[in-house]
Amino acid sequence: MQAVRPFNFSAGPAALPHEVLSLVAEEMLDWHGSGMSVMEMSHRGREFISIYEAAEADLRELLQVPPNFRILFMQGGGLGENAIVPMNLSGGGAVDVVVTGSWSKKSAGEARRYADVRIAADSATLNADQRHLDIPDASTWQLRKDAAYVHVCTNETIDGIEFQTLPDLKALGCDAPLVIDFSSHVASRPVEWSKVGVAFAGAQKNIGPAGLTLVIVREDLLGRALPICPSAFDYKIVAEAESMFNTPPTFGIYVAGLVFQWLKRFEYAGKTGLAAIEQRNIDKATLLYQALDDSSLYENRVAAHCRSRMNVPFFLRDERLNDAFLAGAKERGLLQLKGHKSVGGMRASIYNAIPLEGVQALVSYLKDFENRHG
């Protein structure tokens, strides 16, 4: 019997699948008869190498990562990558960034320390109050011929904006590789690899514990690092050492590997694996946005075509009700709904691990609260 746990809508570190947490607990003291916890194993030993190889192969299969891309398990998080990417790819030259929210804005700021950064487009210029509520049409992006790469954040965790398809830089007349920060929607939907040069993600939103950073890099982009790039962050060195140049975040890789296995066998609506989790994510998001749009108390202001399936910020039209809303939610076992401090209001993060029942419970609470206070 699994104990009933509350639904956790944290933006990150975020909920993990119950099944995975139970298995981690079961295997904590003795992994597969080895007499050791995964935390206590040499990263070069037979046991851990088998965990690492399975995690890599399962992720490759799950996300259909083509053979000319390398999968790196690194450290440093999404913010670390904001420096590691320009150190690896910019050559100190031109970098174009499309700003669609808080995270891409941060990425642009950090890259400025290493490269000549230009904002190719900024969604805050699209409305009078300078909010990030939409994605500027790709035809308006100011891309430079000599850009070393173009950076976009494909799911803005704070603003709740998601690219539903990736920009096709070639079609825009730009030969630069596309770098995507997909931290907060990795493994929630397929990736169009033909449009991507580098994809990076901190693990703590959708695939495992904080401390593990996933980098998936096209092979021809290896070997371009600036001399100031630390060896442990040089993609070529890390790729050549199979992510073992230094000790990788072993426990994080193990938990992520269990999440990949959970995703591979996941079934929903007659589908299996990534197609199944994507369908459930679509159904969860549709249900929640519908409830917000149907209400006169709540609102989400993001343009319909780019609303995030993972992070749903919303406001109570009467902000004086915020504290009562959060207290009532907690009483019902609906945790961590408070919005990011830079945006205010509420935010429900409905990552892969949140079941449909979690969103149904949230929607039912939204309606009850509105009936009492609306």
Ligand X SMILES: *Cc1c(COP(=O)(O)O)cnc(C)c1O
Residues that bind ligand X in the complex, under the rule CB under 6 A: 12, 77-79, 103, 153, 157, 181, 183-184, 202, 205
Closest separation in Å from C-beta 271 to ligand X: 26
Give CA–CA dist 170/142, Å, rounded.
14
Q: Which is nearer to ligand X, 78 or 197 (CB)?
A: 78
Q: Which is nearer to ligand X, 123 or 157 (CB)?
A: 157
Q: Which is nearer to ligand X, 17 or 202 (CB)?
A: 202
Q: Which is nearer to ligand X, 205 or 280 (CB)?
A: 205
Closest separation in Å from C-beta 334 to ligand X: 21
CA angle 167, 171, 177 (to 5 degrees): 60
Closest separation in Å from C-beta 154 to ligand X: 8
Closest separation in Å from C-beta 27 to ligand X: 25
Contact 301, 131 (CB under 8 A): yes
Q: Which is nearer to ligand X, 9 or 103 (CB)?
A: 103
E strand or H helix at 122: strand 116-122
Residue 112 is given by DSSP the state T
Contact 205, 186 (CB under 8 A): yes
- Report, as residue numbers or ranges, the catalytic residues: 103, 181, 205
- For 279, the token pair is 């369908």
From residue 303, alpha-carbon distances to 11, 160, 311, 352 in Å are: 21, 10, 14, 23
- Classify strands 178-181 and 198-202 as parallel, antiparallel or unpaired: parallel
Q: Which is nearer to ligand X, 31 or 251 (CB)?
A: 251
Closest separation in Å from C-beta 3 to ligand X: 28
Phi first, then psi: give them for residue 39, nearest 5 degrees: -65, -20
Q: Tokens 């299969």 identify what position?
A: 61
- For 285, the token pair is 């998001």
3-state secondary structure 309-369: CCEEEEEECCHHHHHHHHHHHHHCCEECCECCCCCCCEEEECCCCCCHHHHHHHHHHHHHH
- For 150, the token pair is 């173009």
Closest separation in Å from C-beta 214 to ligand X: 11
Q: Is residue 117 helix, strand or coil?
A: strand
Contact 215, 72 (CB under 8 A): yes
DSSP of 124-185: GGGSTT----S---GGG----TT-SEEEEESEETTTTEE-SS---TGGGT--SPEEEE-TTT
Closest separation in Å from C-beta 186 to ligand X: 10
Q: Which is nearer to ligand X, 134 or 370 (CB)?
A: 134
